[in-house]
Structure formats: C-alpha cells, structure tokens
Amino acid sequence: MADESYPDDLRYHPEHDWLRADGDEAVMGITWYAQDSLGEVVYFDPPAVGSTVTRDQPYGELESVKAVSDIISPASGEVVAVNEGIAAGPEVVNGDPYGGGWLIRVRLSDPSELESLMDAPAYREYLAGL
C-alpha cells in the first residue's frame, strides 16, 4: 500500500478521482483515499479507447475484495488511452495510485471544466470534513 498523499500537481473531484492536465489531454485515476476505502483492487473494467467520458458520470468500474465501485470522470472528453497494465496487475492502483496506477488518458472536450475541480489543499480540507 502506498502512503497517504495528495500531489499538488493534480486536480481532485469530490468522488475521489484525480486528474493531471497535460495541454488538451488529461490522465485520470483514483485518489489514495479511494483506493484505501476500496481495499485491494482485483479488477478494472475500463472504457474503450475512442469512447467518450462525461464529467460527473461513471466511466468504468474497479472491483476490490470488498465491493464494485463506479469510477467517476472529473472531466469530459474522448478516451485516447487505457492503462492496460491494470488489467494484468490491478494491485498497482493500491501501490501507486498517482503513477503506474493511472486509469485512462482523455482528450479534453471542455478544458474549462477543470476550474471546478479542487486543488490539493481544498481536497485535503474536503476529506477532513467527511
């Protein structure tokens, strides 16, 4: 298991998903809090490359030994890549949620959506209120 962290270069969604913007594309995954709440991740059901994801809507599922959980998209766009390594080793989501445990890369359809996401200090404050 990774140590609890919320990197400053990410934006955070209230459903415990993160986004790292890179020009007009973004990488997405789940936060340390989400993977800790899920427990050991055993399966990732990703969207297809070429499909679209919509902000605040589910785009796939992560299955853990405890539950199956929807993954909520922090922004809208077209899926340009899926982390195929998660299919072979889903536990990497627990060990490295912000690095090797990324889930999808999208081409953003509306970059202004990122303005509604929390920065790391705001997300930490949000977690403190849960």
Taking the C-alpha atoms of residue 53 and residue 107, their distance in angstroms, rounded to an integer, is: 10
pLDDT at 2: 80
Query: What does each of the 130 residues of the chain score in pLDDT, given as a tens digit?
Result: 789 999 999 999 999 999 999 999 999 999 999 999 999 999 999 999 999 999 999 999 999 999 999 999 999 999 999 999 998 899 999 999 999 999 999 999 999 999 999 999 999 999 999 9
Taking the C-alpha atoms of residue 126 and residue 110, their distance in angstroms, rounded to an integer, is: 25
Which two tokens mark 45? 């059901």
> pTM of the entire structure?
0.96
Strands 25-30 and 17-22: antiparallel
Strands 41-45 and 25-30: unpaired
The residue assigned the tokens 């303005």 is 115
Beta bridge partners of 71: 60
**Phi/psi of residue 106, nearest 5 degrees:** -125, 155
- H-assigned helices in the chain: 32-38, 85-88, 92-95, 120-128
User: For the chain, how big is the Rg over CA atoms in Å?
Assistant: 13
Taking the C-alpha atoms of residue 92 and residue 75, their distance in angstroms, rounded to an integer, is: 23
Closest CA relative to residue 79, chosen from 109, 51, 110? 51
Per-domain boundaries in the chain = 11-128
CATH architecture of 11-128: Beta Barrel (2.40)
